[in-house]
């Protein structure tokens, strides 16, 4: 998988409340090495603003909603709106992402293929596009 796409995960519906799960191998195209989550985002703030050289990631709106604007290295722009806790956006390496329009109480879960490594970040959009 080399392109960004929305993945739909299993949803076990139940009158007591719904349940969604992920496991590897199975629902996602890489081995999970790290999870992190973003929450308490003040209105109007933007997160992200970078690409990864090697890291694959899936972002899920566990609660609330937000938008993810993605640029590929040619500068093509696509915006995804996440608001379902059983769907996630798969982002392979070399995709610039910006997260915006966080709703009140939004929580984004990030599932990553690697441990944190600042050297894997590209934080200059012009360097990213010219890469």
**Of 48 and 88, CB closest to ligand TYD:** 48
d(CA 4, CA 7): 9
Nearest Cα to Cα of residue 30 among 7, 57, 66? 57
Structure tokens at 3: 């392109």
**Of 11 and 122, CB closest to ligand TYD:** 122
Report, in Å, the least distance between residue 42 CB and ligand TYD: 13
User: Binding mask 24-43 vs ligand TYD (x if CB under 6 A, - otherwise)?
Assistant: ----------x-x-x-----
Whether the CA torsion 59, 65, 70, 76 is positive or negative: it is positive
Task: Please report, for residues 20, 35, 36, 117, the alpha-carbon distance to residue 82 in angstroms, rounded to integers and kept in the order given.
Answer: 16, 18, 17, 26
**50 part of the active site:** yes
By CB under 6 A, how many residues form the interface with ligand TYD? 7
Subset of residues 41 to 70 that bind ligand TYD, contact rule: CB under 6 A: 47-48, 50
Report, in Å, the least distance between residue 125 CB and ligand TYD: 14
User: Binding mask 96-125 vs ligand TYD (x if CB under 6 A, - otherwise)?
Assistant: --------------------x---------
User: 62 CB contacts (<8 Å, ≥6 apart)?
Assistant: 37, 85, 107, 108, 109
The residues binding ligand TYD (CB under 6 A) are 34, 36, 38, 47-48, 50, 116
């Amino acid at each position: 998988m080399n392109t960004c796409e929305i993945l739909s995960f299993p949803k076990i519906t139940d009158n007591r409340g719904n349940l969604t799960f992920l496991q590897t191998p199975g629902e996602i195209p890489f081995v999970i090495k790290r999870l992190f989550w973003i929450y308490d985002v003040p209105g109007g703030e933007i997160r992200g603003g970078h690409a990864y050289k090697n890291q694959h990631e899936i972002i899920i709106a566990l609660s609330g909603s937000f938008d993810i604007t993605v640029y590929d290295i040619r500068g093509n722009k696509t915006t995804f709106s996440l608001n379902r806790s059983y769907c996630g956006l798969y982002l392979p390496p070399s995709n610039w992402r910006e997260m915006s329009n966080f709703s009140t109480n939004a929580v984004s879960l990030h599932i990553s293929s690697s441990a944190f490594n600042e050297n894997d970040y590209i934080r200059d959009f012009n360097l990213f596009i010219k890469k």
